[in-house]
Chains A and B, each alone.
Chain A
Amino acid sequence: MTCEDTQRELTSYLDGELDVDRGRAVRGHLRGCAPCRTAAHSESILRDGLRSLPTLDPPAPLWSGVRRRLAEAEVADARRPRWRRVVAGWGRPVRGLGLALGGVAIAMGIAVWHAMERQMERQQGQPTVAVLSSVPVVDRSPCSSGEPHDVALALASEPTCVTEAYAAAAADLMRTAHGQRAQWDNDRRARFDAQLDKVRRDVEVAPEGRPRQSAYRAMIRFLQRVTTRDGMLADARGVR
Chain B
Amino acid sequence: MTDVAVEAIEPPLAEPRPRVSATLSDDAQLVAACCRGEARAMEMLYHQFKRRVFSMANRIVGPSDAEEVAQEAFVRVFRGLPSFRGDSQLSTWIYRLTVNASLSHLARRSRRQEVGDEGLADVAAPPEPERDPGLAARIESALQRLPPGYRAILVLHDVEGLSHEECASILECRVGTCKSQLHKARARMRELLGAIGDRA
Contact = CB atoms under 8 A, between A and B. Distances in A.
Contact of A46 (B5, B82, B139): B139
B79 A73 contact: yes
A90 to B, nearest CB: 9
Interface string B139-183: 110000000000000100011010000000000000000010011
B74 A56 contact: no
Q: Could you say which interface size class chain B belongs to? A: 35 or more
A62 B54 contact: yes
Interface residues of A, number: 49
Given A46-B193, A69-B71, A31 B51 contact: no
A16 B79 CA distance: 39
Interface in A17-47: 17, 23, 27, 30-32, 37-47
A50 B154 CA distance: 8
Contact of A65 (B52, B53, B71): B71
Interface string B65-81: 01100110011001100
A137 B140 CA distance: 85
B136 interface: yes
Given A51-B158, A55-B55, A63-B43, A11 B67 contact: no
B121 interface: no
B186 A46 contact: yes
Contacts of B186: 11, 43, 46-47
Contacts, number: 129
A12 interface: yes
A66 B196 contact: no
A48 interface: yes
A56 B54 contact: yes
10 contacts: A31-B5, A42-B190, A44-B12, A47-B158, A51-B159, A56-B58, A57-B51, A58-B53, A62-B50, A66-B75
Given A11-B182, A63-B46, 15 more contacts: A11-B179, A38-B198, A40-B8, A42-B195, A46-B189, A46-B190, A46-B197, A49-B136, A49-B139, A54-B55, A57-B51, A62-B70, A63-B50, A66-B75, A69-B71
Interface of A: 7-8, 10-17, 23, 27, 30-32, 37-59, 61-63, 65-66, 69-70, 73, 89, 91-92
